[in-house]
Structure 1
Amino acid sequence: MRINQAGFSLLEMLMAMAVGAVLMVSAGRFLPLLLAENLRLLQRVQLQQELQQITQTLQKALRRAGYCNGECSGPPLTIRENGSCVLLRWDENSNGRWEGVGHSDSDFYGYRLRSGQLEMQRGVDDCNGNGWERLTDPEFLAVEQFRVEREARRLMVQLTGKVAEQSLTQESWVTGENL
């Protein structure tokens, strides 16, 4: 009595293993490239999100500049150092005046670029000095350019950030409602 045996021969198995090995080697070559490209794309998305968040913070401050629920004196907006430092004033507590630099509830604000980082300080009327807080994380992002330009009531904010070897520039316009 004869039994039919079905299956692969040794030669067929060796050929299948050889084809599989070639495919695995090919995939192994492209996997590091794919992972590196994925990392670059992730960094670019994070950079874009970080710049958008900072830009929105700056836009909000620029829209507020000049607000006063009474009689306020002094310039509501001062742009210095070729646009890389902006000094603003607004009546945050609506008490009808801008509280000065030495006041605990000062209505004076500043934003500046320093050493590749965007910084902010409350209670400041000068672009120099200490006590400024970073708005960006130096471990992740280097700000290459921060610039504010004014055309009447319209203000342009331009930020250029860099992560690893990727650089991205974001530009936006905002209207200073109280200027």
Structure 2
Amino acid sequence: MHITRGATLTELLVATTIMLIVSLQASTYSSQLAQAVMKFEHRIKLEDELRALQFVLTENIKSTDFAAYDHVQPVAFSSVTLPPKPTLTISQFGSEATNSCVLFAYDKNESGVIEASASEQFGYRLRSKAIEYRVKGKACEVTGWHDITDTRSTLITRLRFTITQASSWGTLLEVTIDAQDATYTDIAQTKTFTIGLVNVQA
């Protein structure tokens, strides 16, 4: 006859300890997995945002009537031809990094003239780790621009505009954006791209 005896207190304590260890390991693994998945999602989101920024900046800046003189031939004075009026300038806001603001203009309504009104004056700049969009024709050093990135999710640590080549046909503008995830600051990306600007006087 087989007699089943009950578990001793020691056996129960050992079994309980083993279960606790297994549970803690499973919980730790689960937490690490969730953290890894979350960081992966933030990394993909940051990459998507940089791609979107590249598209928006390229589509707008490439429309610049570079070196246009209000769509009119340069004015001659005493046999000296005045240089075309620049419609793209690079500077910065306050103490932000050099070359972190670009202003440009183009004949949006195709009237034949680049108007002084804000509707044909555009720009992007870095300010307080956000990229801002120019409104009301304001200069780089003036406040009141609108954010197009959100510092609650993305920190823009560098925005740089550099003219890399210039010729009679126009110029090449190189744009560099360094971005960092606001939650996981070890997640960072850099996007560098070039925009071709055609000289309408060429």
Corresponding residue for residue 121 of structure 1: 134
Structure 2 residue 150 is matched with structure 1 residue 149: no
Residues 52-82 of structure 1: per-residue CA shift (max 9 Å, x gap) = 1111111112210116794286212111132
How far the C-alpha of 1:38 sits from its partner, in A, is 0.6
Moved more, 124-133 or 44-53: 124-133
How far the C-alpha of 1:138 sits from its partner, in A, is 1.8
How far the C-alpha of 1:178 sits from its partner, in A, is 3.8
5+ long unaligned stretches in structure 2: 1-14, 74-83, 93-97
Distance 1:58 1:139 in 2: 21
Distance 2:37 2:64 in 1: 41
Structure 2 residue 33 is matched with structure 1 residue 61: no
TM normalised by structure 1 equals: 0.79
TM normalised by structure 2 equals: 0.70
2:112 to 96, 108, 116: 96
Distance 1:97 1:106 in 2: 12
Name the structure where helix makes up a greater proportion of residues. Answer: 1
Superposed counterparts of 1:16-165, under 5 Å: 21=19, 25-66=24-65, 70-71=71-72, 74-81=85-92, 82-100=98-116, 103=117, 106-124=119-137, 126-151=139-164, 152=166, 153-163=171-181, 164=183, 165=185
Structure 1 runs of 4+ aligned residues shifted over 6 Å read none
5+ long unaligned stretches in structure 1: 1-16
Q: RMSD value over aligned CA atoms?
A: 2.7
